[in-house]
Structure 1
Amino acid sequence: MASKLIDHNPLLKKPVLTVLSILHAQGDMDRAALEAAAQQQWSEQYRQNVPAIIDTVVRAHLVTETLFVDGAPYEGTIEDMQTDASLEEGVEVSSTISLAQAGRDVLIDYAPDATLAALVAERPQYHDAYLAVLSACAADGGATRDALEATLNELPALAVDPETKQRSVYPQYFIDALEAAGGIEWSGSWRATPAGKTLIDA
């Protein structure tokens, strides 16, 4: 299942979705154009560079890459070209990258509306806590980590267990979970995304 790529390495989620979303919006692109478009949206928080992520989605069959030599389709990979004695020096090599059905499925599965709904459905006991964080982040100027912790610490879901004197869950869980699901993002402060604001109003 293609989504296992992200499930096994959550840090790939945002850069992979960035590349797939560009192809979904713009259609087939040559690799150079895709790299340039992705670079414009790339975050310094992404741990891999644009070419590496494009290679990753090609290998995962989320996209298909068709190679051309002097305008004619080439049956093989870039690696094949490097050892292909039939190719003359100076040939023009290009490629077209297309969004595969598996890539479209990943975009649907990891759309913020879907991931936020799944997050709340999996832990309905924290519904109020999720909404409290989203509401704070939706305010003008967003919210600091300290402000979010103060808001959450007032909720019953985060109360200290009288027997163990421990919390069953800590404020950072809600921040991490909502960021991973696409409900909040860091931009100088924690801010609600459009999907996060939609959940508030639901």
Structure 2
Amino acid sequence: MDEAYSAEGERPPTEPDDALDRASVLFQHNPGFRQAFLRILQRCRDEAVELANLEATVEEVPGYPKLKQPPYFPIRWLHETGALEELYLDSDGRLHDGAEVAELDEDAFDDLVVAFAYRTTELGSKLAERFSLRNRLAQLLADEPDRQQTYCELLAFLTQKRSFAQIEALLRGRDVLVGTARDGIALQPSLFIDKLESVGAVAYDGGWQTTPEGKELIEG
């Protein structure tokens, strides 16, 4: 992995023996990129996707521009963890895998390959399941059952883009802000938004809104 692996400037530890645990470090160290990682793995699950198209998918992730990283980076990081298989397209649109191009010299490679493509591996599918919104939201609700109703109400409220002032107005004066406080200090509405954002259920893009994955979950 190169120095760009972690947005926080930290390299992941190499101690875990299990491949899934090692790959999970990417998600754990880069929470801001989790939605992009999941969108990439979902997009490539059933078919190989050309790099340019995959980069466009990353750019469409709500809030991605604020991360100020080229869309190629999260794709490359997933490939380096083994979550994505790198494939190669020739001028006729045929796919070639790494074994097919391994023996080519630089000139032969350049003559054959016109574009890169990526496909989710079995490891990538397991990684996507481990960090899926459904699992992370279920864990949040299990950890904070006394706030469950408020989280669900916010997800429904934010199916339309809202300002933070509108969110504050919705929650202002609610018993949940005091009744579920762990230290006796009244909670701020921002806590609920932060928690939902951390699991990928809402995102900010000119306003707070439930993510497409969040909408699928509450509509399902």
Verify same fold: TM over 0.5: yes
Matches within 5 A, 1:110-149: 110-138=131-159, 141-149=160-168
The answer to whether 1:153 aligns with 2:172 is yes
Percent of counterpart pairs with the same letter?
23
Distance, in Å, in 2 between the alignment partners of 1:198 and 1:90 is 42
Matched, 1:101 2:128: no
User: Is the deviation greater in 144-153 or in 88-97?
Assistant: 88-97
8 Å Cα contact 1:160/1:166 also seen in 2: no
> Partner residue of 2:15?
none
Residue 10 of structure 1, CA deviation: 0.2
Give the distance between the partners of 2:219 and 2:54, measured in 1 at CA. Answer: 35
Counterparts of 1:23-172 in structure 2 under 5 Å? 23-25=44-46, 27-35=47-55, 37-38=56-57, 41-42=60-61, 43-66=64-87, 73-75=100-102, 86-88=105-107, 91-94=110-113, 95-138=116-159, 141-159=160-178, 166-167=185-186, 169-172=187-190
Comparing 107-116 and 56-65, the one that deviates more? 107-116
Alpha-carbon distance in structure 1 between the residues aligned to 2:145 and 2:157:
19
Aligned length: 188
1:111 to 1:49, Cα distance in 2 relative to 1, 3 A: same
Partners of 1:74 and 1:110 in 2: CA distance:
33
Letter in 2 for 1:153: R
Partners of 2:49 and 2:129 in 1: CA distance: 21
Letter in 1 for 2:60: Q
Aligned position for 2:24: 3
Letter in 2 for 1:185: A
CA deviation string 1:94-147 (max 9, x = no partner): 344221112112222233222221211111121132133224324xx4432122
Asked if the contact 2:200/2:211 (under 8 Å) is kept, the reply is yes
Q: What aligned pairs does 1:186-197 form with structure 2 within 5 A after superposition?
A: 186-193=204-211, 196=214
Cα separation, 2, equivalents of 1:15 and 1:198:
17
Any gaps of 5 or more consecutive residues in structure 2? Answer: 1-20
- TM-score of the superposed pair, with normalisation by structure 1: 0.72
Is contact 1:63-1:100 (8 Å) kept? yes
Q: Which residue of 2 aligns with 1:16?
A: 37
Larger radius of gyration: 1
Deviations, residues 137-171 of structure 1 (Å, cap 9, x unaligned):
24xx443212222332322231289xx8733x322
RMSD: 3.5
